[in-house]
Chains A and B, each alone.
Chain A
Amino acid sequence: MKKGRRFFKNMLGRRVPEKANLFGEIEPYKKADKRHIKYITEDQEFSGKVVNNIREALEKAGIKDGMTISFHHHLRAGDYVLEMVMKEIAEMGIKNLTLCVSSLTAAHECLIDHIKNGVVTGIETSGIRGKLAEAISKDCILENAVIFRTHGGRARAIEQGDVVIDIAFVAASCCDNMGNMNGQTGKSAFGSMGYPMVDARYARRTIAITDNLAPYPVYPISIPQTLVDYVVVVDQIGDPEKIGTGSTRKSKDPVELAIAKYASQVIFASGLVKDGFSYQAGSGGISLSVAGYLVDYMKEHNVVGGFASGGVTSAMTEMLEKGYFRTLLDVQTFDAGAISSLRNNPNHLEMDASMYADPFAKDCVINNLDIMILSATEIDVNFNINVLTASNGVIMGALGGHPDTAAGAKLAIAVVPLTRKRIPIVVDEVINISTPGESVDVVVTEYGVAVNPRNPVLKEKLIEMGMPVFDITELRDKAYRLTGIPNKPKFGDTIVGIVEYRDGTVIDTIMNVL
């Protein structure tokens, strides 16, 4: 110990040195920071982080012009929260906000007015649909181009600081007064909180909005109190009818059944269906039918899968319950049956968007994925897929986890009808690229399949099996012979959308439609 070291007394009367080796400069103990009321006083009852209403939360969180705010879309078409919050924000006279949302649904049309009134001037999302999408595509109401990101890409952007969220609004169906929350219990239960789990970790402020304030501590904890600033209790966070209806019934349409049959034959030919394999599919009728064929095969060959992931539907939870898969990894829960499974089945696991698909995380689930079934609005002769814009050039869809899973899966199969009414689905060139062709291995239509030239072995196998295998240009020609070659949409000069690939690079631009 050096001579001449100075000491002084702290508030408790103890000697502490001015400096010490590893410690450096020392700050002596001052007054204890009692944040909470002790039992013996008569002060107000402790309400934790609960504030009286959304307005109060906004004021306390310091909402200002030009901020970036976030919402999740786990409540799907039944969401009330975004509309409620935006209404308050607009009434406060706030302007120029950027919305960084996981996606937008039919429940978010209120944004049209907010955009026209200058409350919202930027949107970063996985997708946009309906009237809002049309208004952006055709009427160019939004000042800045929309940034479209995949689920994995959004997680990456948040984690790497490409986006800085000032305030995250997190709807939760079950929340305690300190902000521990989940989406699994409560009248408005919606299942996994995969998307906002990332937001809450990085947002400057996180506000929980719930219609079910439960006793402390709530469990399971999807987002812990350590990340939450304020809690607002409202009457309803969403419409339970519309929350729990994300998936479809098994298809009865002969065309879809034919596609499903061919797709399952491709899967079996790949040799990937063996013990421990992993699988993911969309929620449409074709995917459900494929799952049916898959289960029969697994039963016959005594195969148990390691995990199925998604986008989890009750069709998948049934497979889990019957023992076809050991686990389910759930980033978004689609229907009532699946929500119940997440709550009750220990093998049905919640995962956040980063764990799911972040390309710059140390690893992510989709890198372990064997088989992925994808849909598409259009596919071109280079196997590029469009899920964002319709054949008339108008925005109408969402990237979702499409490009993520296609990149990660060993076998990515796109299932599409050759035409939808008069619109050719296999085309010369897609209007916009959402998923680059190199990630897409096989295209399956009701007429037969086309294999990406990168997979010559698989192609040979399918031909050997007697499957109708075409060159993708033949499928395009077949489609055009039926429908005629469509006129391309007329685009203007305004950029209404930028399509960002998972890694932050830009894959395509969406122009306004005239």
Chain B
Amino acid sequence: MDPYQSLKQLRQLLESKQITAEELCRYFLDRIAQFDQKTNSFVSIEPENVLAEARRADKTIDQGINGQLTGIPVAHKDNFCVQGQQTSCCSKLLSTFIAPYDATIVKNISVEGGIYFGKTNMDEFAMGTSNQTSAWGPVRNPWDLSRVPGGSSGGSAAAVAAGFVPVATGSDTGGSIRQPASFCGVTGFKPTYGRLSRYGMIAFASSLDQAGTLTRTAQDASTMFQIMQGHDPRDATSESSRSNKRVSVKHPLTIGYSASLLNDLDSDIIARIEASRETLERLGNKFEDVEVFDQDLALSSYYIISCAEASSNLARFDGIRYGTRTKSPSSIQELYENTRSQGFGDEVKRRLLAGTYFLSNNSPENYVQKAQKLRRMVYELYQELFQKVDVVLAPSAPSTAFRLDEQLDSTDMYRQDRFTVPVNLCGLPAISIPCGLVNGLPIGMQFIGPQYGDELILDVAYRFQNETSWHLQRPRL
């Protein structure tokens, strides 16, 4: 049994009864039991439940009424609510929270028969780029256990890279799917804002958050996307069912590219991206040089908006109605303060304080409005840009995975996101795919599409993966 098979291959195995769902799940469970103490990519997993679900899946397969994912393991990032399951956002504050309902995308996956395999580790409340802020301990990169997997969807990226599951969900607020995908050598897809429901995904920054997937291939990302997407009447920011804005798929493409973006990158990384560019040209695509927005300005604007929204979104965690309340508080003030002081980690506190500052009258100028104006400037720049080119090619991250013990200060850590945040500011779709190894570590690049150009970037990523084998590289555990 090969743990790195595609969804299509797994489905064939199950349908042709070469393997039962129970056997398949048991195989992955064993693999997790054997190797996950090294990576710490799962934070909760209930093997008995998984196997019970697998046996039910086998029955439906016998009856021939299976869905697109029947019998196939799917792991969820710990910020997606799964009914009856611990959903902690890897925060102490929610360490005892059992979700009473399914997130819409969780439901969509289970309707197609996907087997809920457990919760993956993440940065606390998705705030981080290294998966070191998790209350359940850091995740280690399967390619090199002394290195981080990236974040915040580090557990999902590591789990897919390690062959623990063929697919895991993730969320991307400023690069939280794409940067770990790059670090772990997997395919990370962040759809257009609104195409996947946010209902049941615990909010970090509502106007930036978007659910997505970590998979082996663009083809698997596409399969998952078709299953997860669609209008949700419980999410006012979800795409309208009447929306008719899809960008149609075509080939070859005019690909926007900004050489100046690469200036401060390691020469080995530049070489990998340049080589990919040649591959894409060989496939018939044309490249055009484009101007992109000042990265540090876009990043600052992202940082202001995301912290401000987070400071508001996380106000609900007061320990009154759910979550972990501090023991026997003597006053209401103590209930709030102790619950939140004990419940939130440092990084979360830092961002809540910054966000509160940005929203408060203390600040000399209105940070949030200013950031939103800059956001419009970025948005308009991309709108213009997509008049000229079909998609944009850019690095996913400025480096390969860094070491756990590397001391980065806050802003250096935040600058990890500089290639990814403009996408979130503008609600664009983007997919990060592996494009090489540098010193034995994977590195990714991303295709960025216009709004509703999800299918377009999935297609170009698929064509690239047909020509290359970087996405088939595996870490040795």
A and B assemble together: no
